Copies of this chain bind each other. A is one copy, B any other.
Amino acid sequence: MKAIQAGLLGIGTVGTGVYNVLQRNQAEIKRRAGRGIEITMVADLDTARAQSLVGPDVKVVNDARAVIANPDIDIVIELIGGYGIARQLVMEAIEAGKHVVTANKALLAVHGTEIFAAAHRRGVMVAFEAAVAGGIPIIKALREGLTANSIEWIAGIINGTTNFILSEMRDKGLDFDVALKDAQRLGYAEADPTFDIEGVDAAHKATIMSAIAFGIPVQFDKAYVEGITKLGAQDIRYAEQLGYRIKLLGITKRTSKGVELRVHPSLVPAKRLIANVEGAMNAVVVQGDAVGTTMYYGKGAGSEPTASAVIADLVDITRLHTVDAANRVPHLAFQPDQMSDAVVLPMADVVTSYYLRLRVADQAGVLAQVTGLLAGAGISIDAMLQRQAQELGGAGATQTDLIILTHNVREGTMNEILAKMQALPTVLAPIVRIRKEELA
């Protein structure tokens, strides 16, 4: 049987990985897929570099539309990235009747609804395993492996850059700025790291998982996004003393009121497996009502780990290539006519627990004031730690740090109490508030 022919749009780090792994493992992949899979055409602006990467047998062009227009191409692999030209090309490929494989999380998180609708109409697949958590087959687990379950929540370390920075901060007691510079020097963070450190990349991925888990449209614009740029080394230390690690989590949760979708630094009990995921590794915890807790761990980025996911999609499409469209695995796990319109909750309606750190005057009655405010709002305290004044050192011998872990409370309520707490004359500095996820 004739090999499946794929065309690559953009041959950077991931594209090179896709080409190399397909070459290296071509015999084994053919044994799995039932027919060969070949990249026969590449579009890249730097055609000379592209040609040197793929050798003389692959046609290299500088016009992506020439790949889409080629009638021999079965699958278009979009690795350009971004919302602009990538969106146009994906839509054109779909209209041309090509299956599409993409690693573009930003595109899908923002324009996924439009793209999947077009693909359904045209009867082609848009596969995107590489868009979330790199080489970890988490899309497949959610879409096919856990179909029995009512998914309750997902919490993932889904950005390697920030996990690397957090690991460095903890291991070496570094401040964020220093750890970021280290990460940049070592190639774990880009020159402009904004999308990573501000949580945007993680939010793109959480948005996609949320849609698949709950059968809702992608809606990145409703996600709550908070990065790690404000985390201090001392908070990581204090959390540690309390038995917690701080991780940037992408979280989506089903509640009776709607779906939570949020990215922010979170305390996680140190004894949880995911708390021990260090460096640039990724891990996603999924809680299902039947299966309980499952976790998926691996490399979330890099040339060949991401290529692994892209090629898994190529194999899936190859295996299902001649299937009638009505029985294909649906893009978002649920059939297109079975999407629900459950709302995404505003952050104020999210219920979670908290780590609070207050710099307070070291004098009688302070503790009573603070805990009185919490008790008045029905917020119960899980644990408390008071640092000795002398341990703070320096000029502040009359100050002390008060750390409080709370039980669950609605964020809107917590915001009100924090405003009152901050206004107390005995609270001497801005209160640090970090959300805490027990993941139990």
Which residues of B are found within 8 Å of A129, using beta-carbon distances? 145
Residue of B with least CB distance to A138: B145
Interchain residue pairs A-B with the least CB separation, the first 7: A137-B145, A148-B311, A294-B298, A135-B291, A291-B308, A31-B338, A295-B297
Q: A282-326 interface mask toward B, CB cutoff 8 Å, 1 = contact, 0 = none?
A: 000000111111111111001011011111100110011111101
The yes or no answer to A333 lying at the interface (CB within 8 A) is yes
Cross-chain contact A327 with B335 (CB below 8 angstroms): no
Cross-chain contact B25 with A149 (CB below 8 angstroms): yes
The yes or no answer to A21 lying at the interface (CB within 8 A) is yes
**Min C-beta distance of A8 to chain B, whole Å:** 15
Which residues of B are found within 8 Å of A140, using beta-carbon distances? 137, 140-141, 144-145
CA distance A264 to B312 in the complex (A): 32
CA distance A294 to B326 in the complex (A): 33
Cross-chain contact B273 with A277 (CB below 8 angstroms): yes
Contact of A21 among B148, B276, B319, B333 (CB under 8 A): B148
CA distance A378 to B293 in the complex (A): 45
With most chain B CB atoms within 10 A of its CB, the pick from A150, A290, A302, A326 is A290
**Min C-beta distance of A96 to chain B, whole Å:** 22
Residues from 324 to 376 in A contacting B, C-beta threshold 8 Å = 324, 326-330, 333-335, 338
The yes or no answer to A34 lying at the interface (CB within 8 A) is yes
The yes or no answer to A432 lying at the interface (CB within 8 A) is no
Which residues of B are found within 8 Å of A295, using beta-carbon distances? 295-298
Which residues of B are found within 8 Å of A148, using beta-carbon distances? 21-22, 25, 29, 307-312, 315
CA distance A299 to B129 in the complex (A): 24
**Min C-beta distance of A153 to chain B, whole Å:** 15
Cross-chain contact B296 with A28 (CB below 8 angstroms): no
Cross-chain contact B146 with A312 (CB below 8 angstroms): yes
Copies in the complex: 2
Cross-chain contact A324 with B327 (CB below 8 angstroms): no
CA distance A296 to B296 in the complex (A): 5
Residue of B with least CB distance to A328: B319
A149-B25, A321-B327, A335-B31 known; A308-B288 Cβ under 8 A: yes
A interface residues, how many (CB within 8 angstroms): 67
Q: A121-138 interface mask toward B, CB cutoff 8 Å, 1 = contact, 0 = none?
A: 000000001000001110
The yes or no answer to A415 lying at the interface (CB within 8 A) is no
Contact of A147 among B29, B136, B144, B326 (CB under 8 A): B29
Q: Which residues of A contact B (CB under 8 A)?
A: 17, 21-22, 24-25, 28-34, 129, 135-137, 140-141, 144-150, 215, 273, 276-277, 288-299, 302, 304-305, 307-312, 315-316, 319-324, 326-330, 333-335, 338
Cross-chain contact A327 with B333 (CB below 8 angstroms): no
Residue of B with least CB distance to A312: B147
**Min C-beta distance of A268 to chain B, whole Å:** 14
CA distance A31 to B335 in the complex (A): 6
Which residues of B are found within 8 Å of A329, using beta-carbon distances? 319
Which residues of B are found within 8 Å of A334, using beta-carbon distances? 31-32
Cross-chain contact B145 with A312 (CB below 8 angstroms): yes
Cross-chain contact A141 with B149 (CB below 8 angstroms): no
With most chain B CB atoms within 10 A of its CB, the pick from A141, A291, A309, A316 is A291
Which residues of B are found within 8 Å of A328, using beta-carbon distances? 319
**Min C-beta distance of A303 to chain B, whole Å:** 9
CA distance A288 to B84 in the complex (A): 34
CA distance A34 to B333 in the complex (A): 10
